[in-house]
């Protein structure tokens, strides 16, 4: 199965997109934009993450409303946001 970042939901088809652990090894759960050197680059809330992701999905041709709906239903399932 395709790996997706467990923070932002971005598909990680290539190893280059994996985040990095504090010891420099790859972190396969989070992408390089979210997780660098063993920590999340930004201390965001789920709502902030959704707002951050919307423009990228709009760029892919979705409406803002549609993008928000998708993010609101998928991001809470990810490891970082699961309660
Ligand atoms: Zn990510």
Rg of the chain (C-alpha set) = 13
* 54 within some domain: yes
The average confidence (pLDDT) of the chain is: 95
- Assess contact for 30 and 20: CB atoms under 8 A: no
What average pLDDT does this structure show over 24-40? 97
* 67 within some domain: yes
* 83 within some domain: no
40 pLDDT above the threshold of 80? yes
Indicate the number of domains in the chain: 1
pLDDT tier for residue 1 given thresholds of 50, 70 and 90: low
Reported pTM: 0.88
pLDDT tier for residue 2 given thresholds of 50, 70 and 90: confident
Ligand 1 center–CA 11 separation, angstroms: 9
* 4 within some domain: no
Ligand 1 center–CA 36 separation, angstroms: 10
DSSP code for 25: -
Between residues 37 and 1, the one the model is more confident about: 37
Note the pLDDT of residue 83: 79
Residues 22-59: b if buried by 16+ CB within 10 A, e if exposed: eeeeebebbbbebbbeeeeeeebebeebbeebbeebee
* 8 within some domain: no
């Amino acid at each position: 199965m395709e790996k997706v970042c467990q923070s932002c939901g971005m598909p990680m088809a290539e190893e280059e997109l994996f985040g990095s652990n504090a010891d420099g090894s790859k972190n396969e759960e989070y992408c390089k934009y979210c997780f660098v050197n063993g920590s999340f680059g930004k201390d965001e809330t789920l709502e902030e993450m959704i707002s951050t992701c919307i423009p990228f999905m709009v760029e892919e041709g979705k409406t803002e409303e549609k993008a928000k709906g998708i993010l609101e239903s998928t991001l809470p399932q990810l490891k970082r946001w699961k309660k």
